[in-house]
């Protein structure tokens, strides 16, 4: 499929609201920005939104869906986490009953539990598109791995496994296409970056752009779980690393090219631009 930029902002349904769940998050923020540029009304679905949206408070769902025609569905912390399948399925039913016609779901590559959530959403009766993404470049400058990068040590239970890190800007472009172009209805797209990288490769790239040594240190699953407990984080995060350890995602996929007609952004470009913002700067002792 070639690049899809069809502008539907002049159609009657284009004036209806698009609800972006997680609209302050890594992909949702960019989706909301890009839709706004296209002239589409956007509602940010978050606990701080107006009206508020909270996955754990189903009473907030219907008010957030008022006047909504399309929804970008993201689930934090991950669609593969316990309880996510049931909540996504229940939300999809509420959304369709409230008048939403199209649902675009962010899922993960190779996550069997997440695929159960996909099926629940498909069963809602809405027009759907599934976007299965690799791990994000932006995990290193916006969330999970930022503190380790600042500390100079990325310690993870990934051994020498590889991942095809993808940029959230590419994900957002694909999601916007899926929300605004009928040709993506009923499609499942898998997205990756242009190359496979180990965490040692990532550490080397980050060392290059920051000008200081950032090391990758492999640790045991048990040690990593202990660290998660120490920081009050769910141990379910450790399960996500099995996707790297068992090699199920150790290959490139081409959803970015298929939808957008261009190559995905390389990690090196992301790292260089992120470093220029100062996000990884460490004050001198």
Q: DSSP label at 166?
A: B
Domain that holds residue 96: 12-134+167-192+251-262
Residue 188 counted as domain residue: yes
Residue 245 counted as domain residue: no
Residue 68 tokens, joined: 């909504």
Residue 158 counted as domain residue: no
Which domain CATH number covers 79? 3.40.50.720
Residue 269 counted as domain residue: no
Task: Provide the residue-wise pLDDT of the chain in tens; the chain has 285 residues.
Answer: 334 344 454 454 556 899 999 999 999 999 999 999 999 999 999 999 999 999 999 999 999 999 999 999 999 888 988 899 999 999 999 999 999 999 999 999 999 889 999 999 999 999 999 999 999 999 999 988 999 999 999 999 998 999 999 999 999 999 999 999 999 999 999 999 999 999 999 999 999 999 999 999 999 988 988 888 887 877 777 877 877 778 999 999 999 999 999 999 999 999 999 999 999 999 876
The answer to whether 238 and 221 have CB atoms below 8 angstroms apart is yes
The number of distinct structural domains making up the chain is: 1
Q: What distance in Å separates the CA atoms of residue 26 and residue 48, rounded to the nearest whole number? A: 16
Contacting residues for 191 by C-beta, under 8 A, at least 6 apart: 109, 131, 132, 133, 134, 166, 170, 171, 174, 253, 255, 256, 264
Nearest Cα to 271, choosing from 223, 202, 217, 216?
202
Residue 120 counted as domain residue: yes
Nearest Cα to 22, choosing from 118, 123, 93, 104?
104
Q: How far is CA 153 from CA 12, 34, 141, 199, 222, in A?
A: 52, 35, 14, 11, 18
Residue 29 counted as domain residue: yes
Q: DSSP label at 151?
A: H
Residue 144 counted as domain residue: no
Q: DSSP label at 81?
A: S
Residue 93 counted as domain residue: yes
């Amino acid at each position: 499929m070639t690049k899809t930029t069809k502008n539907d902002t002049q159609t009657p349904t284009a004036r209806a609201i698009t609800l972006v769940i997680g609209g302050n998050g890594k992909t949702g923020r960019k989706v909301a920005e890009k839709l706004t540029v296209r002239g589409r009304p956007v509602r940010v679905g978050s606990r701080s939104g107006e009206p508020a949206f909270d996955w754990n408070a189903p009473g907030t769902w219907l008010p957030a869906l008022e006047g909504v025609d399309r929804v970008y569905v993201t689930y934090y912390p991950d669609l593969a986490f316990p309880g996510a399948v049931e909540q996504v399925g229940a939300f999809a039913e509420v959304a369709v009953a409230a008048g939403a016609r199209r649902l675009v779901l962010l899922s993960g590559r190779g996550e069997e539990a997440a695929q159960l959530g996909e099926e629940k959403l498909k069963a809602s009766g809405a027009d759907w598109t599934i976007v299965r993404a690799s791990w994000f470049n932006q995990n290193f400058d916006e969330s999970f791995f930022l503190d380790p990068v600042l500390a100079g040590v990325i310690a993870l239970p990934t051994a020498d496994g590889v991942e095809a890190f993808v940029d959230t800007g590419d994900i957002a472009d694909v999601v916007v296409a899926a929300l605004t172009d009928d040709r993506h209805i009923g499609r499942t797209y898998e997205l990756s970056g242009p190359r496979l990288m180990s965490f040692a490769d990532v550490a080397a790239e980050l060392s290059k752009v920051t000008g200081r040594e950032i090391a990758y240190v492999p640790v045991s699953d048990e040690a990593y779980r202990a660290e998660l407990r120490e920081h009050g984080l769910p141990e379910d995060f450790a399960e996500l690393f099995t996707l790297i350890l068992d090699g199920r995602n150790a290959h490139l996929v081409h959803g970015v090219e298929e939808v957008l007609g261009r190559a995905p952004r390389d990690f090196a470009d992301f790292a260089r631009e992120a470093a220029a913002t100062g996000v990884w700067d460490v004050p001198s002792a």
